[in-house]
Amino acid sequence: MNFLDELYLEKNMSGTSTGTMWLSGKGKKQLLVVSPVDGEAFANITTASTRNYEQVLEQAQKAFPIWRSIPAPGRGEIVRQIGLRLRDFKLPLGTLIAYETGKPLQEGLGEVQEVIDICDYCVGQSRMLYGMTTVSERPSHRLFEQYHPLGIVAIITAFNFPVAVWGWNAMIAAICGDVTVWKPSSKAPVSAIALQKIVAGVLEQNDLPEGIFSLIIGDRATIGERILEDKRIPLVSFTGSVTAGRIAAQKVAERLGKTILELGGNNSIIVTEFADLKLAVPAIVFGAVGTSGQRCTTTRRLFIHESCYSKVKDHLCRAYASLKVGNPLLEANHMGPLIDKNAVKAYRQAIKGITKQGGKILFGGNVLKKKEYASQCYVEPTLAEVKSHFPIVREETFAPILYLISYVGTVENAITMNNEVDQGLSSAIFSTNLNQIETFLSAKGSDCGIANVNIGTSGAEIGGAFGGEKDTGGGRECGSDAWKSYMRRQTVTVNYGSELPLAQGIRFKIE
């Protein structure tokens, strides 16, 4: 596999790095990495010990004062170089992501592009860490806000975007003057090692100290929970399931640390009687089967107006029949495998749940068994006819299962169903009717962090703030003013006069 050589990856590797240095770890736990594409064990990683954890944290603490003293545009220059270097490695890294996670090569390449884009974005943002100046109520006083770096930011990431989520967090944190410690998912650690090596090249070229960008691969108990409990880490950015995020939020809150939570979604598309189906059908299919239904923004629920329900259902059944499932490195295939056999088990259980709760499988519903699917991680993309209140529909099953639900009456009825789940990440409406669109976008409309019109639920651009409400956690990452979460805000009042007037007109005199 050439892409592994091109990324300087070996079969046996350390999973802990402080930047350019890799910490050795004889006799520690090994993590065997198996590709869901062909079932091959292609890497063996030595996971971090508690001692390694301490080494990483100590190094990060030492690096912070050095990194924060570099002016923000200078930090932006380092991020610019990371973006340039990523361009050189886009093809092998995108290929590795596809091989390690099972997502199509196009999506793997798109993921690397997303990190490149965020690097470019951050170069500009590094000159715009602006605070607000306002007027003081007191004469000869100035009142303003400024932002300072926080310190060590921990980034805990999910398997399904093994490099992009690091990019959203680490690049913004870097221009803000923070140093980062990254704990990737143990289901996709090799992409993280590859990325760390790419970044290391830039650190070396610029003669930067260890501890600015660290990587630590290890299990939940040894590393994950230690991060959550560690008071030296003022901010933990956590991406993952609602269940794990709840634990993370509680543990960090216990020590009054800050979190950015990017948790599960249960995203829906509303197709009204005024929808343009030429736009709606491909958007629905991509939203439901992209990354094998393993995106936080995957389309899971489809609310179709009863007047066009049969038509949309027919279109979708035809489209699903034309989908090719197979090796995601081959461009002809639309969908690759699920991440592992546990995910296949969850898919199976959900299929059982659908029929048990009174739903009907319209297409798919099976685990694929031919020789080309020997890794046992391939499943059929699935369409199911259900009712919105079924318990299974309220859950996020991380698999390509799309629920079709007919609605009657006005768009408000579909909006109510969109909003009645616990999660609140992404939502979309397909309509050409201004009244319906604006209702969906209004305060009584979608309650999600993302609300799209005539495009699907997935595929967010980096320029906007990304995140969701309710059980999705309320965090925001990427563009807009998301950078503010990675800094501490300071309100400053300067008195340049010769009197000492107190606020609210309070009088206080001493002899």
Which residues does the annotation mark as catalytic?
Answer: 262, 296
Of the pair 129, 249, the CB lying nearest ligand NAD is at 249
Q: Please give the Cα distance from 35 to 221 (Å, whole number).
A: 24
> Whole-number minimum distance, CB 439 to ligand NAD, in Å?
26
180 in contact with ligand NAD (CB under 6 A): no
Token pair belonging to 239: 């991406």
Of the pair 138, 258, the CB lying nearest ligand NAD is at 258
DSSP 3-state of 248: helix
341 in contact with ligand NAD (CB under 6 A): no
Residue pointed to by tokens 């109520």: 137
What number of residues does the chain have? 511
Which residues in the 138-157 window bind ligand NAD by CB under 6 A?
156-157
Question: Segment contacting ligand NAD (CB under 6 A): 101-109, 244-252, 354-362, 410-418?
Answer: 244-252
Which residues in the 369-408 window bind ligand NAD by CB under 6 A?
396, 398
> Whole-number minimum distance, CB 221 to ligand NAD, in Å?
8
| Binding-site member from 14, 16, 185, 427 for ligand NAD (CB under 6 A) | 185
Residues 196-235 vs ligand NAD: string with x where CB under 6 A? ------------------------x---xx--x-------
> Whole-number minimum distance, CB 322 to ligand NAD, in Å?
27
Question: Segment contacting ligand NAD (CB under 6 A): 22-30, 119-127, 239-247, 411-419?
Answer: 239-247
Residue pointed to by tokens 């299974």: 392
> Whole-number minimum distance, CB 185 to ligand NAD, in Å?
4
Q: Please state whether beta strands 235-239 and 152-156 pair in parallel, antiparallel, or not at all (unpaired).
A: parallel
265 in contact with ligand NAD (CB under 6 A): yes
The b/e string for 29-63 (b: 16+ C-beta within 10 A; e otherwise) is eebebbbbbbeeebbebbbbbeebbebbbebbeeb
DSSP 3-state of 400: coil
158 in contact with ligand NAD (CB under 6 A): yes
Of the candidates 206, 210, 246, the residue with the CA atom closest to the CA atom of residue 228: 246
Cβ atoms of 301 and 424 within 8 Å: the answer is: no
> Whole-number minimum distance, CB 243 to ligand NAD, in Å?
7
CB atoms near residue 130 (< 10 Å):
10
Q: How many residues of this chain bind ligand NAD (CB under 6 A)?
A: 29
Residue 41 CA neighbour count, 13 Å, CB half: 6
> Whole-number minimum distance, CB 250 to ligand NAD, in Å?
10
Cβ atoms of 407 and 413 within 8 Å: the answer is: yes
Residues 461-480 vs ligand NAD: string with x where CB under 6 A? -------x---x--------
Which residues have C-beta within 8 Å of that of residue 153, sequence separation ≥ 6? 169, 173, 178, 179, 180, 181, 233, 234, 235, 236, 237, 486
Of the candidates 138, 123, 47, the residue with the CA atom closest to the CA atom of residue 81: 123
Of the pair 269, 425, the CB lying nearest ligand NAD is at 425
Residue pointed to by tokens 């998301």: 482
User: For binding to ligand NAD (CB under 6 A), which residues are involved?
Assistant: 156-161, 183, 185-186, 220, 224-225, 228, 239-241, 244, 247-248, 262-265, 296, 396, 398, 425, 468, 472
